[in-house]
Structure 1
Amino acid sequence: METSKLIGGRFRVKDHAVSGAMGDVWPAEDTKLGRTVALKFLARRRLRQRGAATEFTDWTVKRFERESIAMARVSHAHVAQIYDTGEHDGELYIVMEYIQGRSLASHLKEGSALTLERTVRWTREICEGLGAAHSRKVLHHDIKPDNIMITKQGTVKIVDFGLASFADVTQSHTGVGTALYKAPERWANSPGSVHSDLYSVGCVLYEMLTGRPPFGSPQDDAMTVGRMHQDNLPAPPSAHRPGVPERLDCIVRFLLAKDPAERPHSAEAVAVVMSEVGHSFGTENVSIPTGRNHLLDATESNVGHSERIQELDRRIFELELRFGPDRQEVIETRTEHAELTGRSGDTRGAAALYNRLGRDCQNLFGPHDARALNAFEGVARWIAKSRRH
């Protein structure tokens, strides 16, 4: 594609593209408004070169255009916004919000499970964004860690709404999606629904809690994974990660129900319940409802440590963005964040935070630096506490 001239008469491509199966995403300067945007191209030529039928390619183009128009109506803090569409050098493109950050998949690849606070907060934000899209009759079709961006401020942005249906040209139009996160009914060529998106949220939540998806692995055959989604029941997250509250086990169980009618009725309902779960961290004698009606009808709860944990988490993102990871204020804030995470009841999350801090301090200051040794002492202390519980 020719990128030496302005695209659409106003966008100047900079840096390099991130390539995917369906096209490329380029960072670009909007010369008219003076801001950075992302240009996402649908590579029709690439589809044809890979053997996609002309009928499917034409259908893909029409769907691309229709979904772009639909998504332009969705405006929400946790959804990447679409600004415009166009055509350049024979390829269609959409102009999207440029997101500084990295994917949830990248966070999960760091090797330790996320803290419960981040898990609950990010799940709430995913559901808030999905709820806004669902209210405009827009389904995602491919909720997965790669399609959930975490900004440098530590908040969620869902990407690739509607476009994910084009991810695999070898599947039927109603069967597209990513095997590890695809609802059982969609393996039977159902076009999907709000409940299908919520099943995928359940898969993502499961992976955030345990470090693994509920069924299969990326190396497994897709049809094998599909049969697991249709026939198998996953172990509760607490079986893989001691200390997961019973209520989170309950929420995961409802989200992963085989029958779509047995799942929560809306993303907004799940967001409200996740907010309640977050506020319960660090409180004593918190009631744990186990029925579906209780899941859908959130009630008030006492605010524990959650607000302070969230404040510290966001401050860490901001400090690292401003000063880099080696600032003493960053180290102290990360230490406070780990301690409060442990006191909230997430002892394993505290150990994971201290372990990551210790490794980072070794890389930044040397293997025998006191800050690294103090962090690893925190690891041992919180692991010991987790075993006593």
Structure 2
Amino acid sequence: MGAGSTMGATIGATIGGATPRGAVLAGPLRIGQSFSARYHIIKVLGVGGMGAVYQAWDAELSVAVALKVIRIDASRRSASSEAEKRFKQELLLARQVTHKNVVRIHDLGEIDGIKYITMPYVQGDDLSTVLRRDGKLPVARALEIARQIAGGLGAAHDAGVVHRDLKPANIMISADGLALIMDFGISASSEEATSGGIVGTLEYMAPEQSTGAAVDGRADIYAFGLILYEMLTGPRVVSATSARERIDAMKQRTAEGMPPVGSLDQTIPAPLDALVTRCIERDPAARFATTAELVAALAALDDAGELIPIPTRISKRTMAAAAALVVVLLVSTFVLTRRAVLPPKQHEPVSVVIADFQNGTGDPTFDRTLEPMLKLALEGAGFISAYDRSGVSRSLGVRPPEKLDERAALELAVKQGLGVVLSGSLDRLGSGYGVSVKATRAVTGNVITSAKNRASNKEQVLSTATKLATAVRKALGDDTSDSAQRFAMETLSATSLDVVHEYAVAMEALSNSRFEEARRSFSRTVALDPNFGLGYAGMAVASGNLDKQQDALKYINEAVRHLDGMTERERYRTRGLSFSWTSDYQSCVKEFGDLIVRYAADAAAHNNLALCLTFLRKMPEALDEMRQAIKILPNRELYRHNLALYLDYAGEFQTAEQEVRAMQEPGLLSVLALAFAQLGQGQLPQATETFQALGKINALGASYTQSGLGAAKFAALGCARVLRGRKGPAIAAAESAMANSQTVKIRFLAARVFVEAGATASAQKLSAGLASELQAEPQAYAKIVDGEAALNNGDARQAIKTLSEANTLFDTWMGHFDLGRAYLEAGAFTQADSEFDRCIKRRGEAQSLFLDEEPTYGYLPPVYYYQGRVREGLKNAGFADSYRTYLSIRGQSKEDPLLPEIRRHVGR
């Protein structure tokens, strides 16, 4: 058999391509046969151990499809149970994956006792055929195909699907060069045994897969590496013909490894050689940890296989605005889950910059007063995001020019990639006022629409201006009726002009980080109109930025009491802000998710939804939302900073590093994300240098080099003292932390220190307080503290029960770490190994346990110590590797009490 032959020959390998040599064309259907009224069989595409694949005409869809059926046993005329099981598995797994480089299932069913599925008919050849025909491929073409395979494989892994049988025969190359992965979950054939639970193709099987062990995505990465290897060097020649010879060849490959591709073809660039070598490492831990890391590594290569130069310039000018990032996170609102239902039709997002209106009245009351209300009026359309002067600063992160007239607004819109500029004017017109507006396309300068109207007196100006917004919305594509628009804007137009003027002044002060001035102006709005809910919301934001948290909570509660005077979008935002400040992340996610259903173009909502999803540890969904925000506002640097951090939390360290290095002027949070990425990749010297660079940026950056300030620093100090056996000083540090802060985070960390230091009463008091909180997160922390206490008292069984309850209540890294320790003490090594393995896979979260950018990397190294103990208990030959990892991180410490024990275990 050749290299493409399989232990479990898959029958979809030839969809749209040539039939493999030696295949016997047989199956339950005949050419020309009608398979029900819907399908007409055109030809046989391929036959395998499980069944057959046909090209068929789908009369209902009026397209050619590939139709796969289970092969019928001629002696029994029934589908084998194993074949049926795998047939269903392919359907279930493939349907979980949606990606342009993965074949999708059209239909499934059973006709005349024959089970079938249909999928797109692809005109082209499988990669095995391409390699047999063309031999090795040019580097550029090999990389083009490899990037597509990796993209599809990444989508599968993100959906929790491991292919297990990736090989050239399972990859279709369409006539236009599109690579498609096929045959998820099908591997073993009826002709060949899969003894020992081994499933897959011998020639592409990872070493761990060949032993029958459980595999993860790294087995697919190994197979991917072999496929890329063959694309660069040509098909591997395998002389084995019998099953025994093939198994022997596999054992030799998995034991000895493969020679580097560069040794076979010296024209292959070293970076590409290194990438392939890492994919096919015999040790899974030495390969790319995730497909996302593999995709990032491929993206770092040009079409010749050389590294793309990456700018590393870090400007201090933009980093100086780090404190303002906190404001943006608060003001632009917070978070929520995926939208459950999408509207039937979505308008493309439209971003509008609102220029300062020309005030020809001579009355300063109108200076920068109409713009905030026009913003709210325009954003009544779900596809519009509008930015007035304060919004440009707050939401786009750009300081507007002092004179933001129409010309300046057009220049700003072009630079920021925004589509429309709204300008206007207000003039005296006899005893009344004339209001005019004009919407212009930023790039072309073409006028989309213009409108004007007359206000009979001063108090009617605001109403007149918001009514003109109806004409603009309609011109931009809003199909909401005029009456519905006017009804939605009644609360805006009914607001006092003096209130609106103070609100505009307050918003501008807030956008420029003048928080006390903003708070005073917001307070004047509610003094003029006690029902003006936006004023209370602004006071809450300003107070929060002044670190007056109790005032912030008081004002946001007042804002919620006065929702009736807000637009629909502002009601969502205010409730979301309230939920976020009270750590009700589930409700916060729901609120902002509902906002996005109605207002899909709201980039800030996507950003804040991503933030809340990270707090719920739903990292893939958070990344999706963050990328949506960037799609809407591609030049918003804050969103790219956040994406890099969330990639770290998700464990996609290489991708995070690539994201940071691609930035022209990384900000403080981006530099922190780079440090986290380097830690996650084990690059400790580089991470140390990056943290030192943070200390030179500003005071906030310096705080990261000191393990935080105030309460957090005392809590970390208490933890360090416990590890060194200094219980009295540890308790003192925890008490100092509590004296500085009573937040959930500090109470939890202090309680852990109290438990470990033997201050049981203090720990129990804090645990009771956490358990009485309304939200799931502090309740889970209370159970973690109780579980640790049980563990310290020698009751591992109770600790396991309590910690399992904690993880069910709220999924945290610390909960899994402590549960692993409890299993270890109970002698349940397999369960303990599972928990510690989970902690290592989720080590991105350990960088900042509370996902607040406060570094907590010190909690990670003990995982490797406990993992070493577990694997030693399991009599795993490689147990010392875990201890060595610990030594590589903490081996230079002068005070680590674990080092003597660990060195005894590894013999040094």
Instruction: Tell me which interval the TM-score lies in, with the shorter structure as reference length.
Output: 0.5 to 0.7
Could you say what the CA RMSD is over the residues aligned between the two structures, in angstroms?
3.1
| 2:269 aligned with 1:248 | no
Q: How far does residue 219 in structure 1 lie from its aligned partner after superposition?
A: 4.4
Change (3 A) 1:294 1:129: closer
Aligned pair in 2 of structure 1 residues 90, 151: CA closer, same or farther (>3 Å)?
Answer: same
Query: For 1:47-58, what aligned pairs fall within 5 Å after superposition?
Result: 57-58=80-81
Task: Give, in angstroms, the shift of residue 172 of structure 1.
Answer: 3.1
Distance 2:275 2:308 in 1: 20
1:131 correspondence with 2:159: no
Query: 82, 88, 104: which is aligned to 1:59?
Result: 82
Does 2:220 correspond to 1:192?
no
Q: Residues 25 and 13 (structure 1 numbering): CA distance in 2 closer, same or farther, change over 3 Å?
A: same
1:117 to 128, 140, 144: 140
Partner of 2:258: 234
The sequence identity of aligned pairs, in percent, is 30
1:309-388 matched pairs, under 5 angstroms:
none
1:261 correspondence with 2:289: no
CA contact (8 A) 1:181 1:200 kept: yes
Between the aligned partners of 2:144 and 2:81, the Cα distance in structure 1 is 40
TM, length-normalised to structure 2: 0.30
Report the alpha carbon displacement of residue 97 of structure 1 after superposing the two structures with TM.
1.4
What is the identity, as a one-letter code, of the residue corresponding to 1:104? L
| From 109, 134, 145, the counterpart of 2:168 | 145
Which of 3, 13, 22 is matched with 2:41 structurally? 13
Structure 2 counterparts to residues 270-285 of structure 1, below 5 A: 270-278=294-302
Q: SS at 1:78's partner residue?
A: coil
Which stretch of structure 1 is more off in the superposition, 190-199 or 6-15? 6-15
Of stretches 165-174 and 183-192 in structure 1, the one that deviates more from structure 2 is 165-174
Alpha-carbon shift at residue 280 of structure 1 (Å): 6.2
C-alpha displacement of 1:85: 1.6
- Looking at structure 2, the residues matched to 233 and 5 of structure 1 have their Cα atoms a distance apart, in angstroms, of 49
Which letter maps to 1:171?
Answer: T
Cα 1:218–1:295 change in 2 (3 A) is farther
The aligned counterpart of 2:65 is 37
1:6 Cα deviation after fit: 3.5
- Could you say if the C-alpha distance between residues 87 and 142 of structure 1 is closer, same or farther in structure 2, counting changes exceeding 3 Å? same
Residue 26 (str. 1) matches residue 54 (str. 2): yes
Aligned equivalent of 1:98: 121
The answer on whether the counterparts of 2:97 and 2:155 sit within 8 Å (CA) in structure 1 is yes
CA change 1:194–1:140 in 2 (3 A) is same
Query: 8 Å contact 1:14–1:26 — kept in the other structure?
Result: yes
1:135-177 C-alpha deviation (Å, 9 max, x unpaired): 1222211111111111100120111111234576411373121
CA contact (8 A) 1:148 1:159 kept: yes
Mapped partners of 2:108, 2:204: distance in 1: 29
The C-alpha deviation readout for 1:288-315, integer Å capped at 9, x for no partner, is xxxxx869954668xxxxxxxxxxxxxx
CA contact (8 A) 1:22 1:42 kept: yes
The structural deviation recorded for 1:92 is 1.9
Q: Deviations over 1:226-248 (max 9, x none)?
A: 21233102211011112101111
Aligned to 2:611: none
Residue 261 of structure 1 aligns to a residue whose secondary structure is helix
Residue 166 to residue 152, structure 1, CA distance change in 2 (3 Å): same
Preserved CA contact (<8 Å) 2:293 2:654: no
Distance apart, 1:59 and its partner CA: 3.1
Match of 1:72 in 2: 95
Corresponding position of 2:228: 205
Rg comparison, structure with higher value: 2
2:204 aligned partner? 181
1:340 is matched with none
- AA partner of residue 271 (structure 2): R
Q: Is the 8 A contact 2:102 2:181 kept in 1?
A: yes
Q: Does 1:170 align with 2:198?
A: no
Question: Separation in 2 of the partners of 1:297 and 1:101?
Answer: 37
Unaligned runs of 5+ in 1: 288-292, 302-389
- 1:66-90 superposed Cα distances (whole Å, 9 cap, x missing partner): 3312312322110111112222343
Query: Per-residue deviation at 1:40?
Result: 0.8
Q: Is the 8 A contact 2:42 2:54 kept in 1?
A: yes
Question: Partner amino acid for 2:132?
Answer: K
- TM-score, reference length from structure 1: 0.67
Higher helix share: 2
Paired residue for 2:177, among 148, 154, 169?
154
SS at match of 1:234: coil
Distance 2:307 2:210 in 1: 41
Equivalent residue pairs, number: 292
Cα drift, residue 106 of structure 1: 1.6
**Aligned-residue offset at 1:19:** 1.6
The residue type paired with residue 127 of structure 1 is A
Q: Offset of 1:217 from its aligned partner?
A: 5.0
Range with greater deviation from structure 2 (133-142 or 88-97): 88-97
